[in-house]
Structure 1
């Protein structure tokens, strides 16, 4: 038997979503979030704007829905369950009815076939073979930044001195973006992942980044190099891509290439320091597979994309005894899928020796994170190198004093003071 509710209606006792992580245990799910699983694998929840989209907590149900082409990622859909108030394509809108155009958001906000067409233009840069070829260069970068840490003052903010610059430099070199502009794109990126920025602030930041990438694409048209923006410029010359589309793709890759990885570096390092016996395994192992497993487990355990993957139904969908009607919003909570005891025994325990490869930290289906091979490789280099070269690394403040990113779409820490 299936049940359904009209959009906007909800049963008595419908839970509110999202519930922030608890400051008492910043690596774990809040008690309220943990309690959502009691409502079942698919249920209604009330979001910030008073709407009641479907929330999916089960691992199996999320895997099925993430691969279902009857769900749309189009952010401009009228009932799309946006985590924040949306703004107009000109960056000046302020109401809930305003939205980006799909082109402004690039292929992350598009459905197939347009999504697949644009994604293919950049996917070759993120194959495992290409990424593995970058590993020696990334290792050199990591060692250089650790040299600077060791030569500098203590305590030091690991975010600004290490976790943020390394992925920023990696993605800058891959794209062909001048790293000397990192303060500009990092400062604007903060508005795009903020839950507290106004729609106007997010719109202005998006416009600034798009204009910046548009200018760089123009330079690549005149003077191509061996980088991804130059390859996109070739697509423009071939008539397969507009210059603005190329700029939007650049914004997406630049943002995704440094924000998420930087937060995983910070949180993952702190998590290992809080579990010294597991940090010792990462530090002392000579087996690459141990580090690979450790990274997968930390991706599962932390799930830093902590506001869910959001969709709108294009048709009626039967799932877990419920009927999601055409036009209704759906939010899939990766952090609960990654703590599903049916898939991960004793899921609230960090165990870097477990096989955590079934986690959904990068999503699934056609919209899985395109940069996941690069993120994995960076983390596999960074954690063991940092722990080996600074074996006495430790936090310089109490856990209660660390400013965690409860105010951002991507979870992490604004600052992490460390010493040794």
Structure 2
């Protein structure tokens, strides 16, 4: 590397805008050396074309070591295995990844999602009813954005909602940037233990939930999933289904209330909700620390030679603001004709739960704009406490009134 490695861009001038350095990097150094918090040096990709190319490149691996590129707290392989948390299939390559991918794709069926839709509508209505009954002011995160996806993921898995609070607390600990190794291990071992008990309960008393479906499913190799594999999948579903969707609901609401004309557009034209959701997924991101990858062999992306073993960070946040892919990318427009974005990544590792997330967002924003058209921020957007202390970006609180 001849260029001086720079830190990952994280400083924002506005809570809803990417770090401004990304615009300069796309122009001047779209594949640039980046200094990682763990002391390693890798490559940061910022253009849409390069990010999508890397996501489908056969020599770009999703496998990751136990060393994190986000926080300074590191687990050894022995500590990670001892946690019982399990190895997530999102950190695997084919053919190992393909086995899990096919199995899970068979569970996220159109039939299952259609059957879940009325329950999502009921959950959303219950929380809006409670907000309206309590009257303003309210915290849109506490009263709506957090509990709705928490209850939905419980419905999907077949998990009692009473058990979700513990999973939420442990997920928050795992996602914090500042936590001790003991705190991290305690959260991981506790979550693994609870999920293992849940798996064993579903083996005894199966239901129509996704976890029971995975227990009964037979993979392509004919070998049923073990408890360890089910624990890893269950933990991933809880973290992805709760934390990412909750923060996207909060960010989406904050963006709409900040860009007031877009809020009014959705209130007056409910037919724009589907487009509006796609625009939120493009315009906003809950993943500021990029998708971690590594080079399996020497390769070239964006005219830059990358050596085997080099870490690679893919900024979907920057890619979704690339003017080479999107017209006026820094403008939020809920009437925009949808175009392929990387809000759910791309290729073999594209998010399995993306249609569920879309459905939750469409129902949530459709009903929110209909029930509370006068909703507005109770404080200036600059005073909204953002999750700059978390691995997943969003808002800790969104004070609103109406």
Partner of 1:240: 224
1:136 Cα deviation after fit = 2.2
Partner of 1:265: 249
Partner of 2:173: 191
1:41 Cα deviation after fit = 2.1
Q: Is the CA contact 2:244–2:286 (under 8 Å) kept in the aligned structure 1?
A: yes
Distance 1:99 1:350, change over 3 A: farther
Partner of 2:60: 71
Alignment partner of 2:74 out of 81, 86, 89: 86
Distance 1:100 1:309, change over 3 A: farther
The one-character-per-residue Cα deviations of 1:32-61 (angstroms, maximum 9, x if unpaired) are 343332432212122223322011111011
- Using the alignment, how far apart are the partners of 2:304 and 2:122 within structure 1? 52
1:242 Cα deviation after fit = 1.2
1:313 Cα deviation after fit = 0.7
Is 2:22 the counterpart of 1:40? no
Moved over 6 A (4+): 98-103
RMSD: 2.2
1:413 Cα deviation after fit = 0.5
- Using the alignment, how far apart are the partners of 2:6 and 2:144 within structure 1? 39
Partner of 1:57: 46
1:226 Cα deviation after fit = 1.1
Q: Is the CA contact 2:38–2:68 (under 8 Å) kept in the aligned structure 1?
A: no
- Using the alignment, how far apart are the partners of 2:289 and 2:84 within structure 1? 21
Give runs of aligned pairs for residues 326-341 of structure 1, distance below 5 A.
326-341=308-323
1:171 Cα deviation after fit = 0.7
Q: Is the CA contact 2:167–2:191 (under 8 Å) kept in the aligned structure 1?
A: yes
1:188 Cα deviation after fit = 0.5
Q: Is the CA contact 1:125–1:131 (under 8 Å) kept in the aligned structure 2?
A: no
1:241 Cα deviation after fit = 1.4
Give runs of aligned pairs for residues 313-352 of structure 1, distance below 5 A.
313-352=295-334
SS of residue paired to 1:225: coil
1:125 Cα deviation after fit = 2.8
Question: Please, which runs of 5 or more residues in structure 1 have no aligned partner?
Answer: 92-97
Alignment partner of 1:31 out of 20, 29, 48: 20
- Using the alignment, how far apart are the partners of 1:15 and 1:154 within structure 2? 45
SS of residue paired to 2:86: helix
The one-character-per-residue Cα deviations of 1:109-146 (angstroms, maximum 9, x if unpaired) are 21111111122222223244532342222112111110
Give runs of aligned pairs for residues 152-167 of structure 1, distance below 5 A.
152-167=134-149
Partner of 1:374: 356
The one-character-per-residue Cα deviations of 1:313-347 (angstroms, maximum 9, x if unpaired) are 11111112111111111001011100110111111
Partner of 1:17: 8
Comparing 114-123 and 156-165, the one that deviates more: 114-123
TM-score (norm 2): 0.93
Partner of 2:198: 216
Comparing 33-42 and 391-400, the one that deviates more: 33-42
Distance 1:345 1:229, change over 3 A: same
1:270 Cα deviation after fit = 1.3
- Using the alignment, how far apart are the partners of 1:49 and 1:389 within structure 2? 47
Alignment partner of 1:178 out of 145, 160, 166: 160
SS of residue paired to 2:294: strand
1:100 Cα deviation after fit = 8.8
- Using the alignment, how far apart are the partners of 1:100 and 1:392 within structure 2? 51
- Using the alignment, how far apart are the partners of 1:103 and 1:182 within structure 2? 17
Q: Is the CA contact 1:123–1:370 (under 8 Å) kept in the aligned structure 2?
A: yes
- Using the alignment, how far apart are the partners of 1:263 and 1:103 within structure 2? 23
- Using the alignment, how far apart are the partners of 1:152 and 1:385 within structure 2? 18
Q: Is the CA contact 1:81–1:331 (under 8 Å) kept in the aligned structure 2?
A: no
- Using the alignment, how far apart are the partners of 1:189 and 1:332 within structure 2? 23
Question: Please, which runs of 5 or more residues in structure 2 have no aligned partner?
Answer: none
SS of residue paired to 1:45: strand
1:206 Cα deviation after fit = 1.6
1:239 Cα deviation after fit = 4.2
TM-score (norm 1): 0.89
Partner of 1:95: none
The one-character-per-residue Cα deviations of 1:234-282 (angstroms, maximum 9, x if unpaired) are 2599742111110111000011001111111111111111122211221
